[in-house]
A and B are shown apart, each in its own frame.
Chain A
Amino acid sequence: MKRSFVGVILLCAILLMNIVFLQLLVHQYYFENYVAVLTYMGIMFLLFPLALWIYKKEKYKGDHSHEKE
């Protein structure tokens, strides 16, 4: 069994983006740029389904026991 770490790397990148955007969001809230806050919130809400999609796609990568031969 050969493991695929593409999913792990992509999800780590998404986690990093989550952290960065949440920090920006909180800052923009205190700078009273409320439109920017809503934009960042939209990005945060798009990142979650993206992460879920990557997970579903990568779940069985490298694991051939679920494939029919």
Chain B
Amino acid sequence: MTDQKRKIPVEEDNYTHNINRNNERSLDRRGFMKTLVGAAGVFAVASLPWGTLAAKELMGLSDKEYPHKKIVDVKDIAVGDSVEFYFPSEHDSAVLIRLEQNKYVAYQNACTHLRCPVYWVKEKHTMVCPCHKGKFDVNTGAPTAGPPRRPLPGIVVEVKDEAVYAVRVKRYEA
């Protein structure tokens, strides 16, 4: 280092210039190798969340079955009508639509755009989000018009003892 920087201003009480900082910021071979080992560690840790999610998928935790919930009696829902319900928790609003005599579809009806509730419009035979005129196909839940780009998460329903039950939520496709 240059001598100029190491120059001690006042010789007799040297409190400020007593630290030797020569080559403090230069990266030598060993320091560089240490950095690379640290990077390897960071990479190993970075793969951890992905591995955890993959293990979770392999164990089938994300496809869990919720306790079956009765939505409505078959006699209370006419063909072409819809019923709102909540599944799996009381904060997840959903809609059940009876398309044919024995064909029921159900979706979580929070719009995949900004989570407005999506309604079944019988006359137009489509599901409509009133906030931004988003439309969804009733058979698949796929978006057909407006801002939403992702399908509505479907709910598997089951007819048992003259009533319709919600069984589980289909995998949410991002």
Nearest CB in chain B to that of A29: its residue: B50
Q: Mark B31-53, 1 if CB is under 8 A from A, else 0.
A: 01110110111011011101101
Interface of A is mostly: helix
B residues contacting the other copy or chain, number (CB 8 A): 22
Q: By the criterion CB–CB under 8 Å, are A22 and B33 in contact? A: no
Instruction: Verify B57–A47 contact, CB threshold 8 A.
Output: no
Instruction: Indicate with 1 or 0, residue by residue over B46-66, a CB within 8 angstroms of chain A CB atoms.
Output: 111011011101100000000
Asked if A45 contacts B44 (CB within 8 A), the reply is yes
Say how far B57's CB is from chain A's closest CB, in angstroms. Answer: 5
Q: Restricting to A1-44, which residues have a CB under 8 Å from any CB of B? A: 3, 5, 7-8, 11-12, 14-15, 18-19, 21-22, 25-26, 29, 32, 34-35, 37-38, 40-41, 44
Kindly provide the distance from the CB of B45 to the nearest chain A CB, expressed in whole angstroms: 9
14 A-B residue pairs with Cβ-Cβ distance under 8 Å, sorted by A, are A11-B36, A15-B36, A25-B51, A29-B54, A38-B51, A38-B54, A40-B47, A41-B48, A41-B54, A47-B40, A50-B40, A52-B37, A55-B34, A59-B33
Q: Which 4 pairs show the lowest CB-CB distances between chains A and B?
A: A41-B51, A37-B54, A11-B36, A51-B40
